[in-house]
Amino acid sequence: MGSGATLVDGVRRWFQRRSSTTFLANNSNNNNKNNKQNKNNSNIVVHDYYDGHVSVSELRAESSTARRRETKAGGEEELTIAEEDFDVSGLNPIKVPLRFHVKAISMETQKKGALETDFFTEYGEANRYQIQEVVGKGSYGVVGSAIDSHTGEKVAIKKINDVFEHVSDATRILREIKLLRLLRHPDIVEIKHIMLPPSRREFRDIYVVFELMESDLHQVIKANDDLTPEHYQFFLYQLLRGLKYIHTANVFHRDLKPKNILANADCKLKICDFGLARVSFNDAPSAIFWTDYVATRWYRAPELCGSFFSKYTPAIDIWSIGCIFAEMLTGKPLFPGKNVVHQLDLMTDLLGTPSSESTARIRNEKARRYLSSMRKKQPVPFSQKFPNADPLALRLLEHLLAFDPKDRPTAEEALSDPYFNGLANVDREPSTQPISKLEFEFERRKLTKDDVRELIYREILEYHPQMLQEYLRGGEQTSFMYPSGVDRFKRQFAHLEELNGKGERSTPLQRQHASLPRERVNAPKDENGNQNNDFERRTAASVATTLESPPKESDCSENSNTAAQNGPNKPNYSGRSLLKSASISASKCIGVKPKQGSEDTIPEANEEGVDGISQKVAALHA
Ligand SMILES: Nc1ncnc2c1ncn2[C@@H]1O[C@H](COP(=O)(O)OP(=O)(O)OP(=O)(O)O)[C@@H](O)[C@H]1O
């Protein structure tokens, strides 16, 4: 594409080039009609899609002016992307089933709700949002849709309960809201606002206002068995474009999976859930301890399945994107491992056993031995595994899924792959500045509940400029001149949850208390030896053992039997031992609770019971 051409031109030409595909012939009239309707009304289009569910798709006709964001110097910087630059009129809208089945609230209930909520407060922020229905539940609370009366927009409001119950959870929330404020990009979900808590020192819940998305990629993949090559290409393009931006900020997402990609019927995708994300600073200690890494196994890079290295690269996210892309193509998870050993087995079944050069680079001895003594497997040709896919897509997919992280392309390189010819345009794929160390200095010290409360409060003030000025001037306000909307929200959410109580899941999922930053190696010791410090010491010790030393008999009693059988000088490299090692590195000492109904997030802690597989793998070393 010529340098002066716009992305719209590119997409259009590209669609024309592929006009032999059926979707244009069959659907262009309807889609153009819908599109026109959107453009003219910039309002709501109702798609009657899925199993009789009516999905309301608000295809935003955002102003074509480029988004702006504040720079560190306090000025404004232009982001050159406007969402509508993607002319997706040639793409079939996708089905976006409701993630959370809530019956529409009856008129009567709505009236009752309105009366009830009006009673509590009528001014300040409280009147700004009219809560509508629950659209999701996560381990941190409930997400409701609402109308922002200032803008008329539909928004999603995430209510996070009892933020400070565990410092680790609060730190995770702080990290997420901070990152989402700093990472502004059309392919990343946007925080629009955070409600001001009623009291600086005593608040417990927070309410984060996001742009509302209709579904997530997990649901989209399940509900759409007629996705076209153009959908696949556009989806992958957006994911890589978002990831390029994230990685140039020196952020690793670390938990990319279909459920963490929000989706709209107009094929727009947005990356969300930065709770496990980390900023990587160049001067960070070389041994970055990622002991809190409990991200979903199915999308986890091989190097994270056996603590191959002590330092990881952004290529871990590229691997996850490869897995997600493969899942789009087949409708099924690519590597649905039951534990880390099974995970590595599935990977090597498809990709073949890694080369001896790749294995030699692995620092963790157990993992290295395990892989080098594995039965040699030949790679399965991708054209055989994905028989109907575009050969260019498969060529790129093979790169994304390179076993050795150094062989995976960066997001930027992937965007320039021939697969995206005609769609990609480097002018529309912005990078950003690395995130300032100052923003994340809290990762390097031990935080108390009060510290993290203050930091979250400070973060919330970013959405309340006047209060922020006051705060920066050293004002000691602990409550506000105008009432916070939070009380009203509490009641609205309680009301909704009550309505929804007889639904599928009446309580939020169990939290995973897993997010104390392990990078913090110089944390000052707490003389009083409180629980968290203890936890940190135990974890650091476990990790040091995992990364630095061969397994010792004393590592655990289960291993000691096998080690004894192996003889005194023969370390145990059985599958069980690898499981143990990965468990330590991924979730040792962490009270990980599985999410209900979510197979892929069964924590490694549970995996040590998978005797059959362990024995099978151990037999390979006999
Ligand atoms: N902006 C949004 N628009 C619509 N739905 C959303 C939005 N953000 C989150 N959701 C939905 O709400 C649910 C919970 O959200 P989210 O994953 O952010 O919560 P969480 O407590 O961090 O969850 P997790 O347990 O996965 O960490 C998910 O199903 C998600 O799809």
Residue 598 CA to ligand 1 centre (angstroms): 14
- Alpha helices by DSSP H, 277-364: 302-305, 315-330, 340-351, 356-360
Residues 258, 272: Cα–Cα separation, whole Å: 10
Phi and psi, residue 133, nearest 5°: -155, 160
Residue 9 CA to ligand 1 centre (angstroms): 34
Residue 140 in contact with ligand 1 by CB distance below 6 A? yes
Does the pLDDT at position 615 exceed 80? no
pLDDT of residue 138: 82
Residue 257 CA to ligand 1 centre (angstroms): 13
pLDDT of residue 284: 54
The answer for residues whose C-beta is within 8 angstroms of residue 434's C-beta and 6 or more apart is 248, 249, 250
pLDDT of residue 379: 98
Which are the catalytic amino acids? 255
3-state DSSP assignment of residue 581: helix
% of the chain surpassing 90 pLDDT: 44
- Tell me the whole-structure pTM to 2 decimals: 0.69
ipTM score: 0.97
Does the pLDDT at position 106 exceed 60? no
Residues 452, 429: Cα–Cα separation, whole Å: 34
Q: How does residue 459 score in pLDDT terms, banded at 50, 70 and 90?
A: very high
Residue 135 in contact with ligand 1 by CB distance below 6 A? yes
- Look at 124-133, 227-236, 488-497, 536-545 and tell me which has the smallest mean pLDDT: 536-545
Residues 379, 368: Cα–Cα separation, whole Å: 19
When comparing pLDDT for 22 and 257, which is higher? Answer: 257
**Mean pLDDT, to the nearest integer, of 136-143?**
85
3-state DSSP assignment of residue 574: coil
| Pocket-testing residue among 101, 135, 211, 264, ligand 1, by greatest number of atoms within 8 A of Cβ | 135
**Mean pLDDT, to the nearest integer, of 225-239?**
97
The answer for residues whose C-beta is within 8 angstroms of residue 492's C-beta and 6 or more apart is 113, 117, 131, 144
- Look at 39-48, 118-127, 185-194, 232-241 and tell me which has the smallest mean pLDDT: 39-48
- Residue closest by Cα to atom 10 of ligand 1: 136
3-class secondary structure per residue, 252-307? ECCCCCHHHEEECCCCCEEECCCCCCEECCCCCCCCCCCCCCCCCHHHCCHHHHCC
Q: How many residues does the chain have?
A: 622
Only one residue has tokens 């944390």, namely 523
Tell me the CB-side half-sphere exposure of residue 219, using CA atoms within 13 A. Answer: 22
- Alpha helices by DSSP H, 183-276: 217-223, 229-248
Residue 232 CA to ligand 1 centre (angstroms): 23
Only one residue has tokens 């892989």, namely 371
Residues 30, 9: Cα–Cα separation, whole Å: 21
Residues 548, 357: Cα–Cα separation, whole Å: 21
Residue 210 in contact with ligand 1 by CB distance below 6 A? yes
| Pocket-testing residue among 137, 158, 159, ligand 1, by greatest number of atoms within 8 A of Cβ | 158
CB 511 within 8 A of CB 168: no
**Ramachandran area for residue 482 (φ above 0: left; ψ -120 to 50: alpha; else beta):** beta
Residue 72 CA to ligand 1 centre (angstroms): 29
Phi and psi, residue 456, nearest 5°: -70, -40
Residues 509, 595: Cα–Cα separation, whole Å: 6
Q: Say which amino acid occupies 139.
A: S
Q: How does residue 486 score in pLDDT terms, banded at 50, 70 and 90?
A: low
Q: What is the mean pLDDT of the chain?
A: 69
Residue 139 in contact with ligand 1 by CB distance below 6 A? yes
| Pocket-testing residue among 254, 273, 511, ligand 1, by greatest number of atoms within 8 A of Cβ | 273
Residue 157 in contact with ligand 1 by CB distance below 6 A? no
159 labelled as ligand-binding?
yes
Does the pLDDT at position 328 exceed 60? yes
**Mean pLDDT, to the nearest integer, of 77-97?**
63
Residues 277, 256: Cα–Cα separation, whole Å: 10
